[in-house]
Structure 1
Amino acid sequence: MNDPIQTLPAVVRRATERHRGRPAVIDGDAVLDYADLAGRCEAVGRALIAAGVGFGDRVAVWMPNRIEWILAACGAHMAGAVLVPINTRMKGAEAADILERSRAKVLYSIGDFLGQHYPAMLDGLRPPTLETVVVVGSGSPRAGEIAWADHLARGAAVAPSAVHEREAQLHADSTADLMFTSGTTGRPKGVMAGHEPTIRAFTEWARVVGLGEGDRYLIINPFFHTFGYKAGWVAAFLCGATVFPHQVFDADAVLERIQSDRISFLPGPPTLFLSMLAHPRLAGFDLSSLRSAVTGAASVPPVLITRMREELGIRNVTTAYGLTECGGCATVCDPSDSAETIANTCGKALPGTEMRCVDAQGRSVPPGEPGEVVLRGYHVMQGYFEDEAATREAIDEQGWLHTGDVGVVDERGYLRITDRLKDMYISGGFNCYPAEIERLMAPHPAVAQVAVIGVADERLGEIGCAFVVRRPGAELSEADCIAWCRRQMANYKVPRHVRFVDALPTNASNKVDKKSLRADWACGEN
């Protein structure tokens, strides 16, 4: 076992050998021991081969955090397939777009969740390339769907050697996943990432943040996001921690689980910890097991780090920075850093990662001077799926990934994010892209034009404000517009404010002047 691990199936098999006798995943009454992890994942791989999935085919997963998500993902990797996670907050049209563009052959979908049958949201939208829909959890399969248990039963006819042959074809640079992330074009782009870069980056991440063998890891960050997937259960399997999936954030439930499940490791956005700290019965919960926490994804007030240490009793608190295009993590603070450093910076670059702040001509700026953050290293994405133009725009000829974030690097090499070149804003830990939200709002029959900006919010960090020009003679209220948006898009994308204007301001290039809109918002708030 001295050879370096280069593929995610190899991570699973090594974990089974090293950590047998310890729980790998505890999901309610379902307990999966590390001893059984590889076998359970292999059964999914056999089922996928039985379903006609070939090497390199795409397999999508559309469900909340639960044990089957992990098994489906690991089984897909063992079958030599490429994993396509889908956000559970997406509506049917959004999910169908990703399924169609990725040409996913199989979809693992939750059945009944949050008051609806998820596969039903694809009615009339299911692309012809989607051959199999596997329904997980409650909710009986309908015509054209198959239950999880029946899907696995069909795989029994496939010999385990077929999975082993697929695994043998994988190598360090094989594409492991295709994660769709929104962008300024208004349409999500598929980020391709390899097996070995994920393993290398999150082995280092786990070392720095202190995730280790025997930790009890409550994963609230969704598995469809790199934080819940790669910094989540992949990192846990790399070091022998136990995964506790959590589906929907609720401060009461999280505090109860920390107490009852003796959770020791808990990452999450600042809103998670702020909600815990604001709980009226916080002092009544036993949080003594909670040892480590990682936060980020939004601005972090220094007082939050201090309160997490003093009021929640978390000894190791740290922050990190990354984006899907670099595998989810590029910089990280050390837990021993001061509260001021952890709150005001994103830490130093991971070993093997180069980081600079550059001016408009691509020249490095001096320490303390703002510039665009660019990254280069082993975990920069392979590119955007079937989009060479967007790939060339994001990664220059020297291999530098242009993040679109403006930051400052100090003399110690610590990064502080100060602004964004793009219009993206972060709401409750989720990246929100105005161009995509505008595209989704455009079909409204009363909307002639719309422009979205991010505005400050005490609880979520930032929320969306839509400036709307109504069509002549059309009637539309703020409440009706927001309600319509809730039916069309994921909740975190829905603008919380709508302002009606006669016309949108434009600049000399006839583009919407969002600086003017931000100024208008600021004037209205004062």
Structure 2
Amino acid sequence: MLRDQAAGHPGVVAVVAGDARLTLADLRERAAETARALIALGVERGDRVSVWGPNDPDWVVAAYGVWDAGGVIAPLSTRFKGLEAAALLRKVGAKVLLVAEGFMGTSYLDMLKDADLPDLEHVVVLGTAPGRPGVLTWAEFLARGAEVAPEAGEERALAVGGGDLASIMATSGTTGAPKGVELFHSQLLRGYWDWSEVVTLTEGDRYPIIAPFSHGFGINAGLLACVLRRATMMPVALFKPDELMDLIERDRVSVLAGAPPMFFKILDELDGRDVSSLRVGICGAAAVPPELIRRLVDRVGLQRMINAYGLMEGTVVTMTRAGDPVEVIAATTGRTVPGVTVRVVDDAGRDLPPGEPGEILIGGYGVMRGYWDDPERTAEAVDAGGWLHSGDIGILDDAGNLAIVDRKKEMFIVSGFNAYPAEIEGLLLRCPRVGQVAVIGVPDEALGEVGWAYVVPPAGAGPGAGVDADAIIAWARANMSNYKVPRRVIAVDALPVNANGKIDKPALHARAAAERG
């Protein structure tokens, strides 16, 4: 795909970050150069290569270089500490690690200095960072590539097929032990071509990639999709609302993807800003406040707002489409993409009628082949019929739109009633006193569990102000089933978010445990 795009459109700018610019021809050339260096280090087809660094042009070059060499990329999150990184490196048996030493003042090399990594043969620092004994600088690494003839590199790249493994993406389960999701080239190319079709991503679009490349959305709906569609990716190493607004104004950004908290922040920063270049927003969330969509359309001028559902193990599953009303975009994640099937089933595996909540099962080409070197957990996730058991609770409507009610593990039980935080959050967002909200279940002696709601006041209310807990609870009692009504409402200036911009529920659970004593 990269060779085809570079041959037909060599001058199209593929990557922009600060003063750095890479055309498709540049990316193809630098990827081939990187691949030859990896081959010189002994990387064979199917060997795992890890990349540990922020979103930047070096990461893009590294990824396509790994694929050119026939390797499998196994990304590491910049939020990982040494134990977490070492666990994943051991899990996948990474042969080479490419690392952005010194990012945000962090020494990744120091974090790994005492780690037992029997399969790791080479460590290379990205960019201009200095090397250390036993660690190659990028210049030294590329110099090794001179030992490999360009023809040999091309032969290796052209031998890669759709059925070859492309990536092993880290995900953790309820046990906390790392799992590696196996995804193949054919799955990714098909899935993110279709995703891009719905998004209308095209040549000339300028698209900041805020989700980390170490996450499925960042690498697939960003790094891969942009080259597929000849759009210009703009890697964002560290999200800051004011800097993003500067980027939108200065570089005429046209496509923007993120979770609701990011779009709320953009609206907060909107006064006096020129964001007329924005035409498409992609918001992946169980529930998107309708008022957020209306404000983005009215105040920002977005032509389209898209909601979508996907997961590491199932790639792209559902998306809203052009012409969908605000209510569908806000309350559902749309219909399945071509080649994907969704079922909603009860605990016995029986299909449920529209309107009934149950576990979402996913079938089709996008379902992972398995977790790396973990047949037991693979069998737990994908049944004998090839259906992926998502662990998500959903509801289908008569038109086939899928609403995500919640994660099974986030559900809590109030006096025998199943309570789903995402559903409760969607209801509370209709209260005029609520700007943003996150709900969690906490233990309760009388009822088993109850909901606590962490609430950000509406824009303009001021930090820590404007949240009247009693009034919000009274509104909830008037508009919601009693078991769904939060027993506590806690005012916060902002909701904690994780690296992917989604609400950090574990952080809220930890806070609630501390507050309960």
Give the count of matched residue pairs: 439
Identify the match of residue 43 of structure 1 among 15, 25, 33.
Answer: 33
2:359 aligned partner: 372
1:330 aligned partner: 317
Q: Is the 8 A contact 2:286 2:332 kept in 1?
A: no
**Amino acid paired to 1:313:** G
2:283 aligned partner: 295
1:422 aligned partner: 409
2:232 aligned partner: 242
Q: Deviations over 1:419-459 (max 9, x none)?
A: 22224999xxxxxxx9xxxxxxxxxxxxxxxxx99965446
Residue 321, structure 1, aligned to residue 309, structure 2:
yes
1:84 aligned partner: 74
**Amino acid paired to 2:319:** V
Shift of 1:185: 2.0
Three-state SS of the structure 1 residue aligned to 2:383 is coil
State the alpha-carbon separation in 2 of the partners of residues 121 and 91 from structure 1: 7
1:311 aligned partner: 299
Residue 264, structure 1, aligned to residue 254, structure 2:
yes
Measured at CA, do residues 13 and 456 of structure 1 come closer, stay the same or move farther in structure 2, by a change above 3 Å?
A: farther
Q: Is the 8 A contact 1:65 1:247 kept in 2?
A: yes
Q: Is the 8 A contact 2:205 2:254 kept in 1?
A: yes
Aligned 1:14-53 pairs, distance under 5 A: 14-53=4-43
Q: Is the 8 A contact 2:11 2:23 kept in 1?
A: yes
**When the two structures are superposed, what TM-score results if normalisation uses the length of structure 1?**
0.79
State the alpha-carbon separation in 2 of the partners of residues 156 and 252 from structure 1: 43
1:277 aligned partner: 267
Residue 212, structure 1, aligned to residue 202, structure 2:
yes
2:418 aligned partner: none
Measured at CA, do residues 406 and 413 of structure 1 come closer, stay the same or move farther in structure 2, by a change above 3 Å?
A: same
Shift of 1:138: 5.3
**Amino acid paired to 1:401:** L
Three-state SS of the structure 2 residue aligned to 1:114 is helix
1:198 aligned partner: 188
Residue 70, structure 1, aligned to residue 76, structure 2:
no
State the alpha-carbon separation in 2 of the partners of residues 226 and 408 from structure 1: 24
Q: Is the 8 A contact 1:117 1:139 kept in 2?
A: no
Q: Is the 8 A contact 2:72 2:168 kept in 1?
A: yes
Measured at CA, do residues 363 and 222 of structure 1 come closer, stay the same or move farther in structure 2, by a change above 3 Å?
A: same
* Structure ranking higher on relative contact order (CA contacts 8 Å, 6+ apart): 1
Q: Deviations over 1:339-360 (max 9, x none)?
A: 1110100010010001110111
Shift of 1:499: 5.7
Identify the match of residue 495 of structure 1 among 507, 510, 516.
Answer: 507
**Amino acid paired to 1:288:** S
Q: Deviations over 1:31-52 (max 9, x none)?
A: 1111222111111100100111
Q: Percent identity?
A: 45
State the alpha-carbon separation in 1 of the partners of residues 38 and 130 from structure 2: 20
Three-state SS of the structure 2 residue aligned to 1:75 is helix
State the alpha-carbon separation in 1 of the partners of residues 454 and 219 from structure 2: 27
Greater shift in the superposed pair: 383-392 or 121-130: 121-130
**Amino acid paired to 2:373:** E
State the alpha-carbon separation in 2 of the partners of residues 30 and 455 from structure 1: 46
Shift of 1:299: 2.9
Identify the match of residue 346 of structure 2 among 355, 359, 369.
Answer: 359
Three-state SS of the structure 2 residue aligned to 1:311 is helix
Measured at CA, do residues 454 and 71 of structure 1 come closer, stay the same or move farther in structure 2, by a change above 3 Å?
A: farther
Q: Deviations over 1:456-501 (max 9, x none)?
A: 54469xxxxxxxxxxxxxxxxxxxxxxxxx9xxxx95863544669
Identify the match of residue 252 of structure 1 among 242, 252, 260.
Answer: 242
Q: CA RMSD in A?
A: 2.5
Identify the match of residue 143 of structure 1 among 123, 128, 133.
Answer: 133
State the alpha-carbon separation in 2 of the partners of residues 296 and 402 from structure 1: 20
Shift of 1:232: 0.6
Three-state SS of the structure 2 residue aligned to 1:416 is strand
Q: Is the 8 A contact 2:170 2:178 kept in 1?
A: yes
Measured at CA, do residues 103 and 260 of structure 1 come closer, stay the same or move farther in structure 2, by a change above 3 Å?
A: same
Identify the match of residue 100 of structure 2 among 82, 100, 110.
Answer: 110
Greater shift in the superposed pair: 141-150 or 382-391: 141-150
Shift of 1:389: 0.9
Q: Is the 8 A contact 2:286 2:406 kept in 1?
A: no
Q: Is the 8 A contact 1:318 1:334 kept in 2?
A: yes
2:387 aligned partner: 400
Three-state SS of the structure 1 residue aligned to 2:274 is coil
State the alpha-carbon separation in 1 of the partners of residues 504 and 405 from structure 2: 23
State the alpha-carbon separation in 2 of the partners of residues 267 and 195 from structure 1: 23
**Amino acid paired to 2:197:** R
Measured at CA, do residues 492 and 111 of structure 1 come closer, stay the same or move farther in structure 2, by a change above 3 Å?
A: farther
**When the two structures are superposed, what TM-score results if normalisation uses the length of structure 2?**
0.81
Q: Is the 8 A contact 1:112 1:138 kept in 2?
A: no
Identify the match of residue 111 of structure 2 among 99, 113, 121.
Answer: 121
Q: Is the 8 A contact 2:171 2:179 kept in 1?
A: yes
Q: Is the 8 A contact 1:270 1:298 kept in 2?
A: no
Three-state SS of the structure 2 residue aligned to 1:386 is coil
Shift of 1:335: 3.6
1:230 aligned partner: 220
Shift of 1:113: 1.2
Greater shift in the superposed pair: 372-381 or 128-137: 128-137
Shift of 1:301: 1.1
Shift of 1:19: 2.0
